[in-house]
Amino acid sequence: MKKISALFILLIVTQTASAQLFSKEKIKNQENFDKDFLTWGYFIGFNSYDFKFEYEQDLKDIEVQTNLGFGVGLIGDMRINDYFNLRFEPGLYITQRNLLYNQSSFDTIAFTEADLNREVKSTYIHLPLLLKVSTKRINNFKPFIVGGLSTAINLSSNEENPDDNSVGQFRTKRAMYFYELGFGVDFYLYWFKFTPTIRGVFALNDELVRDVDPNSPWTSNISTMKTRGVFLNFTFQ
């Protein structure tokens, strides 16, 4: 159902863009929309989170299985001038990553199949402050790039849990910090402005909470574990 909805939205956007690009008619929808100092809206979208690992020793990498996640949130937009906007986009992002360990990580330590797999579920309250840099509006669409900094609170964090991987608990930190880069297109429809956006997020801090045992096969060889991800959001204003 999600794939069908996404395909339907993409078809509408493609047809609208084609009409605007190749038609000589210049019908301005929402002509004065961008003149408001403050505007608001909401977004829904999908995400794919990953981990970037740095290792202490040259052993087999940990494989990360990513899953399609869901996001929803609000948008507050402050106009600076015709080309620059400051945006605040608080959102809720839900995702899951599965870590697959190689048997070589356990060396002479006895292990079971369950020890080779760890589920990392995350529910982020994501708080980005972004600068949007747009081109001049062309008929009823306007491309832009966007970038900025953000912080996130992981509601699924088990940082304070005294149990670790020795009893099956892979622990991650609660507070995260990111930089973000992306691009999108504003489409000015008859009743509202519709904006699809693709944005990459890259963590600045290590998310891993290490096991008590300094020789733990799950965490001892990890120097840093940083989140990275891609957002595909659809905004309505």
- Average pLDDT on 42-64 reads 91
- Average pLDDT on 109-124 reads 88
- Average pLDDT on 31-58 reads 91
- Average pLDDT on 30-44 reads 89
Res 16 pLDDT > 90 = no
Q: What is the pLDDT of residue 26?
A: 66
User: From the centroid of its chain, how far is CA 179?
Assistant: 11
- Average pLDDT on 112-137 reads 93
Write out pLDDT tens, residues 156-209.
999 989 988 988 899 999 999 999 999 999 999 989 999 999 999 999 999 999
- Average pLDDT on 146-156 reads 96
Torsion-angle region of residue 139: left (phi > 0), alpha (psi -120 to 50) or beta? Answer: left
User: From the centroid of its chain, how far is CA 236?
Assistant: 18
The confidence band for 225, taking pLDDT boundaries of 50, 70 and 90, is: very high
Q: What is the DSSP letter of 210?
A: P
218: domain CATH number is: 2.40.160.20
The β-bridge partners of 68 are: 48
- Average pLDDT on 7-35 reads 57
Res 218 pLDDT > 60 = yes
The phi and psi torsions of 71 (rounded to 5 degrees) equal: -140, 150
- Average pLDDT on 35-42 reads 92
* Contact yes or no for 236/217 (Cβ under 8 A): no
Q: Give the whole-angstrom CA distance, residue 187 versus residue 161.
A: 47
The confidence band for 102, taking pLDDT boundaries of 50, 70 and 90, is: confident
* Contact yes or no for 150/128 (Cβ under 8 A): yes
Tokens 């403050």 label which residue?
38
Q: What is the pLDDT of residue 106?
A: 81
Q: Give the whole-angstrom CA distance, residue 38 versus residue 45.
A: 23
CA neighbours closer than 13 Å in the CB half-sphere of residue 105: 23
List CB contacts of 64: < 8 A, sequence separation 6 or more.
50, 51, 97, 98, 99, 100
CA-based torsion, 30, 32, 35, 38: positive or negative? negative
Q: What is the pLDDT of residue 14?
A: 45
How many degrees, rounded to 5, is the angle at CA 77 between CA 184 and CA 144? 20
Q: Give the whole-angstrom CA distance, residue 111 versus residue 146.
A: 46
Q: What is the DSSP letter of 237?
A: -
Res 120 pLDDT > 60 = yes
What does 40-98 look like in DSSP terms, one character per residue? EEEEEEEEEEEEEEEESS--PPPEEEE-EEEEEEEEEEEE-SSSEEEEE--EEEEEEEE
- Total number of domains constituting the chain: 1
Q: What's the whole-number average pLDDT of the chain?
A: 87
User: How many CB atoms are closer than 10 A to CB 71?
Assistant: 20
Q: Which domain holds residue 222?
A: 2-236
The confidence band for 24, taking pLDDT boundaries of 50, 70 and 90, is: low
Tokens 């204003």 label which residue?
237
Write out pLDDT tens, residues 44-54.
999 999 999 99
